[in-house]
Amino acid sequence: MEGPRWRAEAGVVYLVGAGPGDPGLLTLKARDLLATSDCVLHDHLLDPAVLSFAPPEAERLDVGKVGHGAQTSQDRIHELLRDRARTGRRVVRLKGGCPTLFGRVAEEADMLRRAGVRFEIVPGVTSALAVPAYAGIPLTARGYAASVAIVAGHSASPERPPLTGVSGADTLVVLMAMRSLPSLVRQLLAAGRSEQVPAAVVSEGTTPRQRVVVATLGTIAAAAAAHGIEPPGVLVVGEVVRQHARLAWFSEAVPDNLVVQKS
Ligand SMILES: C[S@@+](CC[C@H](N)C(=O)[O-])C[C@H]1O[C@@H](n2cnc3c(N)ncnc32)[C@H](O)[C@@H]1O
């Protein structure tokens, strides 16, 4: 087999997307950069197969959050990135999904720029697209939807409620939705979405533990709670959710993959 085509350079920080869970969705560039790195700072919920692409002797630092629990502070992450790069290490900062989508990449890249440290952003396959795809829900299925909005279920800014400005999109994909599902549903209903519109939650998508609950917007919060669905999960709202009944290919491919349908 040929050697790596993309090689990490000394003193550079690579802000890399690890994909949504299935290690097969890692990009070739991410795999090569990992293979030629000597320091990996990574999020918590990563498949060990992804980290195994880094050399065994590479330093591995778990800087991720466990649920709502302890997390390495953003300041400490900045310090580690800066210091490792300045001592000439080849640094991969590995983040779930795509680092540009709710991944705080802007803060880390800006800090590196100000510190005079070279960086590159390597996009990844985001859970916002891949998780619905593994649940058999193409987000803009022809005839069902022509627009999609990807939103955070909670907002970093109190002045900007999470669902501001999304009422016009045919399909909504809400990340970080699981802990506040009932209140998100109330907001969507208040914004004019019908109780009858199909809705799905997909947890641990693209992994063998993927679970899908399909209901309507009016019943999805209760259905998810009844089936003990836990984060990480995405909420998908829109007519495209109907496609799941015909296109749930991953559920068929992975026999243990539990699918719950509720209308
Ligand atoms: C802080 S955001 C980061 C998103 C990430 N940058 C991306 O592009 O996928 C974390 C949220 O992504 C979603 N998520 C990530 N991986 C997931 C998975 N395998 N299954 C379901 N949702 C996932 C969940 O909504 C979770 O709360």
DSSP states of the chain:
----SS---TTEEEEEE-BSS-GGGS-HHHHHHHHT-SEEEE-SS--HHHHTTS-TTSEEEE----TTS----HHHHHHHHHHHHHTT--EEEEESB-TTSSS-HHHHHHHHHHTT-EEEEE----HHHHHHHHTT--TT-TTT-S-EEEEESS-S-TTS-TTTT-TT-SEEEEES-GGGHHHHHHHHHHTT--TTSEEEEEESTTSTT-EEEEEETTTHHHHHHHTT--SSEEEEESGGGGGHHHH-HHHHHSTT--EEE--
Q: Which of ligand 1's atoms lies nearest the C-alpha of 127? A: 9
Q: Which of ligand 1's atoms lies nearest the C-alpha of 207? A: 19
pLDDT of 154 reads: 78
pLDDT of 46 reads: 82
263 pLDDT tier (thresholds 50, 70, 90): very low
Q: Does pLDDT of 143 surpass 80?
A: yes
Q: Which of ligand 1's atoms lies nearest the C-alpha of 100? A: 6
Q: Does pLDDT of 187 surpass 60?
A: yes
What integer best gives the mean pLDDT of the chain? 90
Q: Does pLDDT of 2 surpass 80?
A: no
pLDDT of 121 reads: 98
Name which residue sits closest to atom 27 of ligand 1, judged by CA. 176
pLDDT digits (tens, 9 = 90+) for 188-226: 998 889 999 999 999 999 999 999 999 999 999 999 999
pLDDT of 158 reads: 59
Mean pLDDT of 221-234: 95
Mean pLDDT of 24-28: 97
75 is catalytic: no
Q: Between vectors from CA 74 to CA 87 and to CA 203, what angle results, nearest 5°?
A: 115
What backbone torsions phi and psi does residue 198 show, to the nearest 5 degrees?
-65, 145
For the entire predicted model, the pTM comes to 0.93
Report the percentage of the chain scoring pLDDT > 70: 88
Which one of 16, 71, 127, 139 would you pick to mutate in the ligand 1 pocket, going by the greatest count of ligand atoms within 8 A of its CB? 127
pLDDT of 1 reads: 65
Q: Does pLDDT of 231 surpass 70?
A: yes
Q: Does pLDDT of 256 surpass 80?
A: no
d(CA 196, CA 42): 40
Mean pLDDT of 173-186: 93
pLDDT digits (tens, 9 = 90+) for 120-139: 999 999 999 999 999 999 99
pLDDT digits (tens, 9 = 90+) for 32-89: 999 999 999 998 878 899 999 999 999 999 998 655 556 789 999 999 999 999 999 9
pLDDT of 165 reads: 64
Which of 32, 43, 47, 95 does the annotation list as catalytic?
43
Mean pLDDT of 231-256: 88
